[in-house]
Amino acid sequence: MKSQSFVLSDEITKLLEAQGITVATPVQEQIIPAITGGRDVLAQSETGSGKTLSFAIPIIEQLTRRDGLKALILVPTRELATQVAGEFIKFSAGKHLGIVPVYGGVSINVQASKLRQANIIVATPGRLIDLLNRNAVRLNSVKYFVCDEADRMLDMGFIRDVERIASKLPAEHQTLLFSATVPKEIEKLASKYLRNPKNVRFEATVKPIYLKQTYYRVSPDRKLDLLADLLEQERHLAIVFCNRKHITVKVSKKLTEIGIQARALNGNMSQPQRERVTDDFRREKFTVLVATDVAARGLHIDDVSHVYNYEIPKDVESYTHRVGRTARAGQKGEAVSLVATEEEKKFFQQILFKYRGDITLKELDDFKKRAPVPVPHKFENKPASDEHPSRKSAHRRHRNERSGRR
């Protein structure tokens, strides 16, 4: 990795080049030398900007196997913990560092055992609190404390856990705080825990030149029909976002029944299930992922061509995170929102105000006049498991009708 602001060891340079990483990103240009120089960091940076390597590289460079526990990275989700730990493992090959991902949904005893040999812990706050309560880990030797995607941890209610964990750290350590947005609560957190930080702000990586943003006004009873119609048009990988877990299950099931292979991803699934679905999506075994915000957090898949907001997010920050799943790595993408209810109209007005001029209304003139996708009565409000058997035959008839038209 070439840079005018820092020099890396031959070992890590070769590992980076083997992955095709030869030039530092703007984020890395500023953050790597700051960390190496011992400074705290507050960085506003979107996913896909190279921020993970911006803190992983200097930490890896300065650690050896015999150092003991020196780095703690907090992340909001299990998927992100797995991914960030994987990056540390990949770029520390040959150093044999003890890198341990820690998250819920798997055996806590196995994780506690692995922590005895850890140099670097990548953890979700809740599981780390559990391990601290069991005295399975002590943080008094930590030198590097990274809080990644701090705004999402704020949204998920983890900030108190983050502060509790921070209270267990030694007085002398570096704090590195990364956040896609910096609301007032994050600024307060930074002022409390960061000392004379390197303050770095970057523009969003998703720019209008790459990202096309559109929306439709549609009646609630035709919403799923419109989604199915859009998904049948030219696309690659697509993520359909829902606010509620049971809606991801229902939407993925209905799409699959009419011939569009889709899978759900939500917090009710076990960790092995979520990892299997994510891996299958990445390998394109299916092409439509129907997910909640929390479950999709930490997904880094460069080939997502379309994002659909089946349910409109309740705040602008969530919308920003969602549309950031496409138009990555210099590729073009499209984000489509389906606005149906009065409540969704209210939420979407905030988004339109924030993205003034960047989101275009599309009319339904070209929307195919197909037979409606069969949906259980009160689709949006009933629990996920109460579909009547007689409706399944209707789904099959509908699927056969559609296949006959193609």
Residues 179-199 pLDDT 10s: 877 888 889 999 999 999 999
**Confidence grade of residue 31 (pLDDT, cut at 50, 70, 90):** very high
Residue 272 vs residue 93, higher pLDDT:
93
Tell me the mean pLDDT in the region 253-268.
94
**Confidence grade of residue 17 (pLDDT, cut at 50, 70, 90):** confident
Work out the percent of the chain whose per-residue pLDDT is above 90: 57
User: Which of 116-120, 275-279, 328-332 shows the lowest mean pLDDT across its residues?
Assistant: 328-332
User: Which of 105-114, 298-307, 396-405 shows the lowest mean pLDDT across its residues?
Assistant: 396-405
Q: Where are the domains of the chain?
A: 10-201, 211-395
In degrees and rounded to multiples of 5, residue 365 shows phi and psi of: -55, -40
DSSP state of 48: T
pLDDT at 274: 85
pLDDT at 406: 35
DSSP state of 165: H
Rg (CA), the chain: 23
Mind listing the pLDDT tens digit for each residue in 313-372?
A: 988 878 887 898 888 766 889 999 999 999 999 999 999 988 888 999 998 875 655 455
**Is the per-residue pLDDT at 405 higher than 80?**
no
pLDDT at 356: 83
Q: For all residues of the chain together, what is the average pLDDT?
A: 85
**Is the per-residue pLDDT at 109 higher than 50?**
yes
Fold matches, 10-201 and 211-395: yes
Mind listing the pLDDT tens digit for each residue in 136-184?
A: 999 999 999 999 989 888 878 898 999 999 999 999 999 999 987 788 8
pLDDT at 4: 63
Number of H helices, E strands in the chain: 16, 14
pTM, two decimals, is: 0.61
10-201 belongs to which homologous superfamily? P-loop containing nucleotide triphosphate hydrolases (3.40.50.300)
User: Which of 94-98, 201-205, 366-370, 385-389 shows the lowest mean pLDDT across its residues?
Assistant: 385-389
**Is the per-residue pLDDT at 399 higher than 50?**
no
**Is the per-residue pLDDT at 209 higher than 80?**
no
**Is the per-residue pLDDT at 125 higher than 80?**
yes
Distance CA 257, CA 398 (A): 9
pLDDT at 381: 40
Distance CA 89, CA 19 (A): 13
CATH 3.30.1370.60, domain 211-395, yes or no: no
Distance CA 42, CA 361 (A): 37
**Is the per-residue pLDDT at 391 higher than 70?**
no
Residue 211: name the closest of 347, 293, 325, 344 by CA: 325
**Is the per-residue pLDDT at 403 higher than 60?**
no
Residue 102: name the closest of 91, 92, 89, 115 by CA: 115
Distance CA 382, CA 13 (A): 54
**Confidence grade of residue 48 (pLDDT, cut at 50, 70, 90):** low
Q: How far is CA 234 from CA 229, 269, 356, in A?
A: 11, 30, 27
pLDDT at 315: 84
**Is the per-residue pLDDT at 117 higher than 60?**
yes
**Confidence grade of residue 210 (pLDDT, cut at 50, 70, 90):** confident
Residue 5 vs residue 243, higher pLDDT:
243
